[in-house]
């Protein structure tokens, strides 16, 4: 992704970044998060103690916006099919209380969504592509 494109996307509001995330992930049929060893996904606790699974629409965005502490842990951008993500993560009963932080920026700002909300938005967008 071109640095100017990243810069422009990061100027979007939290809501606009969520809209971009949903469109882009549905179009490319993948979601990006951070993982250690390609299968240990980063899920962190926010100031309120809620568990957050951070997500981005593109590898370069995940890499650019990853928190320093996650990079220090060795976390790297990792993708998963949007369909597998919905089935294996959003629908996973063990992750029912986990929220999804959509497209964090460098200031650690993002909209945080419940799984069912994210699932509805992704599935509605995916239907547009069928």
Query: pLDDT tens-digit profile of 62-76?
Result: 999 999 999 999 999
pTM exceeds 0.85: yes
Which residue would you say has higher pLDDT here, 38 or 34? 34
| Beta strand residue intervals within 3-118, DSSP E | 30-36, 40-41, 44-45, 51-55, 76-81, 99-102, 111-113
Residue for token pair 């932080």? 101
What integer best gives the mean pLDDT of the chain? 94
Residue for token pair 């422009």? 8
- Please check the confidence at residue 38 and state whether its pLDDT lies above 80: no
Sequence ranges of the domains in the chain: 3-129
The answer to whether the beta carbons of residues 66 and 107 sit under 8 Å apart is no
- Please check the confidence at residue 96 and state whether its pLDDT lies above 90: no
**What CATH number was assigned to the domain covering residues 3-129?**
3.40.1350.90
| Beta carbons within 8 Å of 48's beta carbon, 6+ residues apart | none
Which own/partner pairs from 90-95 qualify as long-range (CB within 8 Å, at least 24 positions apart)? 90/115, 90/116, 90/118, 90/119, 91/115, 91/119, 95/53
């Amino acid at each position: 992704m071109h640095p100017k494109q990243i810069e422009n996307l990061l100027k979007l509001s939290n809501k606009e970044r969520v809209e971009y995330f949903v469109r882009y992930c549905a179009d490319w049929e993948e979601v990006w998060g951070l993982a250690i060893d390609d299968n240990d996904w980063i899920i962190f606790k926010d100031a309120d103690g809620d568990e957050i699974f951070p997500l981005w629409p593109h590898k370069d965005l995940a890499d650019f916006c990853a928190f320093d502490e996650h990079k220090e842990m060795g976390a790297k951008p990792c993708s998963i099919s949007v369909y597998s993500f919905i089935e294996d993560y959003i629908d996973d009963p063990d992750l029912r209380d986990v929220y999804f932080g959509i497209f964090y920026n460098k200031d650690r700002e993002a909209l945080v969504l419940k799984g069912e909300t994210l699932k509805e938005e992704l599935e509605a967008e995916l239907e547009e592509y069928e």
